[in-house]
Structure 1
């Protein structure tokens, strides 16, 4: 799958300024190209997603002298990669011992990673490792799954020469993902999205205590291929809303830009 989306009013913790309250931070648009692949095999599933992100100049790629206070005038470049894998206990044992009809379809071992790099002054390079249990719910149509995982994060920060890598504490993490077709026979619509919660994981790069992170995205998706050409799951258009509270664990009560509310829109082309 290849997709493009536009996000409005994105925020970056510590990026102060702009109109409105100082604590709101500076708003910047983002243009995002995504490559994603999902596949299933005998014992589980694999999901890989990579976003290539270009910010508006309001979210600068860095700062110039004197004293690193003048923005370069260029928006930041960033990539964010996600991998999630599962190993189904029913699939591996060849039984239905881990299924509850009408409630749970499969219980799986879950594992994965995130990797994020950008061209901001921080030169952020973050690696997250995750592992735990995933529940695939037995729903009439679409899918709903919940993963409860342990989360470990490592972050490289170019602004702190004395401590270039921060090793965060292990923390609990929950991921709810869903894709639910809506009951409109003449218009093929669905709701797709996710909710992620990451508990406090120690102190950040600057020694500040991290906060509970809450992140959600919900898209209303129109299957254009099915609507026009009777070829489902080929071409989609979508609009959505993205919310991130205490972004990256930064405390939104004190750090500008740590709370984001963004509308988004885009198109997706499925190649298989």
Structure 2
């Protein structure tokens, strides 16, 4: 089956799942967040880049699983210049969607064993559009694979996913587009967590970790490298201090470590590994 037909079929199936879930949502959380750092990195760019990132996310649970969608608007300073040569910074939109089907609820079986709370199957997609002076990413990616739900306070989900990724970068100066290129199907071990704890004040340890295998040759014939992308934060629930309901307002610090970013080797390429401290604020509604 052609890749475009496969994607349309896959997205249609996800839309049907989401529509069914939306009719019987048991719980949900929507958040508007902001994060800021001065040491972002991009491959083939040796500069420390300042970025302001605004995120809108939504998660909900229904009788047979849960949905998660996240949209980042990333605004770089001029050290990551835009594609128009205006002296402004690059702009990027990155959207991620995941649906996890709870196999225990679907089959009526209990998959709880030892540290495992349950078993699921996760599927979804990523896409982005970036306007910058270099690569101008137009990523499209489908993901699917099993998920273990571990028995911890809060949640800790570990998934082994297959990734079907393609890109068609656009040269903003010459107004030419690279034909869409499909990388090799490759694996990702993914962990996502949110674990509350207290030291006299309400805190939580949140984040994700992606360990991504090589995706073969890139569209220019070069070899790609395995990636490690760990993003974690300590968040303080300041809601009570401002007279709001629990988990309405959160502030905290965040750190991201991303080695071989986008599969680019960091040998002689300092921008291919990011070490980025950030500040973060969230409003949940």
Give the match's secondary structure for 1:182: strand
Give the match's secondary structure for 1:28: strand
User: Quick one: distance in 2 between partners of 1:124 and 1:261?
Assistant: 21
Aligned equivalent of 2:116: 104
Is 1:54 matched up with 2:54? Answer: no
Aligned equivalent of 1:134: 147
Is 1:164 matched up with 2:179? Answer: yes
Structure 1 length-normalised TM: 0.88
| Aligned-residue CA RMSD (Å) | 1.6
CA contact (8 A) 2:168 2:177 kept: no
User: Quick one: distance in 1 between partners of 2:115 and 2:241?
Assistant: 32
Q: For 1:142-198, what per-residue CA distance to the aligned partner results, in whole angstroms no more than 9, with x for missing partners? A: 1111000101101011249584222100001111111111232x3001110110011
Of structures 1 and 2, the one scoring higher in RCO (CA 8 A, sep 6+) is 1
List gaps (5 residues or longer) in structure 2. Answer: 1-30
User: Quick one: distance in 2 between partners of 1:137 and 1:236?
Assistant: 25
Q: Cα distance, 1:230 vs. partner?
A: 6.2
User: Quick one: distance in 1 between partners of 2:241 and 2:117?
Assistant: 30
> Pick from 171, 176, 188: which aligns with 1:173?
188
Q: Cα distance, 1:95 vs. partner?
A: 2.5
User: Quick one: distance in 2 between partners of 1:156 and 1:7?
Assistant: 28
Structure in which a larger fraction of residues adopt helix? 2
Q: For 1:44-101, what per-residue CA distance to the aligned partner results, in whole angstroms no more than 9, with x for missing partners? A: 010000001100000001264xxxxxxx3110000111111111110101221x221x
Aligned equivalent of 1:124: 137
Structure 2 length-normalised TM: 0.84
User: Quick one: distance in 2 between partners of 1:107 and 1:37?
Assistant: 22
Aligned equivalent of 1:152: 164
Is 1:87 matched up with 2:101? Answer: yes
> Pick from 216, 224, 248: which aligns with 2:262?
248
User: Quick one: distance in 2 between partners of 1:111 and 1:230?
Assistant: 35
CA contact (8 A) 2:122 2:144 kept: yes
Q: Cα distance, 1:205 vs. partner?
A: 2.6
Is 1:215 matched up with 2:225? Answer: no
